[in-house]
């Protein structure tokens, strides 16, 4: 089962989500609207995301849907 790491720093209004282990050699690309994609520097594979100016109830998460189980499998 995949492990997701979520870090919230309320004093910095920063939410960071990793679906792979953070890397020493990672790069960031700003996607707009305070969303930053974190990628492995060598492979370019996305490993996480950051939301700047985040606060609980942030509307940017309205578009996120979480499904449990294998793709196409009904719960």
Whole-model pTM: value is 0.74
Q: Tokens 């990793």 correspond to what residue?
A: 18
Residues 14-52 have pLDDT tens digits of 989 999 999 999 999 999 889 999 999 999 999 999 999
Query: Would you list the domain boundaries of the chain?
Result: 5-55
Q: Is the sign of the CA dihedral 41, 46, 48, 54 positive or negative?
A: positive
Q: Which two tokens stand for residue 21?
A: 């282990």
**With contact defined as beta carbons under 8 Å apart, do 19 and 4 qualify?**
yes
Q: Supply the pLDDT for residue 75.
A: 47
Q: Is the pLDDT of residue 66 over 90?
A: no
- Residue 70 has a CB neighbour count (10 Å cut-off) of 6
Q: Supply the pLDDT for residue 55.
A: 84
Q: Does residue 20 sit in helix, strand or coil? A: coil
Q: Supply the pLDDT for residue 3.
A: 85
Residues across the chain? 75
């Amino acid at each position: 089962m995949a492990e997701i790491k979520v870090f919230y720093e309320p004093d910095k209004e920063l939410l960071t989500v990793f679906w792979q282990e953070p890397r020493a050699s990672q790069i960031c690309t700003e996607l707009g609207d305070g969303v930053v994609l974190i990628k492995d520097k060598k492979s370019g594979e996305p490993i996480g995301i950051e939301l700047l100016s985040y606060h609980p109830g942030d509307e940017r998460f309205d578009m996120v849907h979480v499904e449990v189980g294998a793709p196409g499998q009904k719960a």
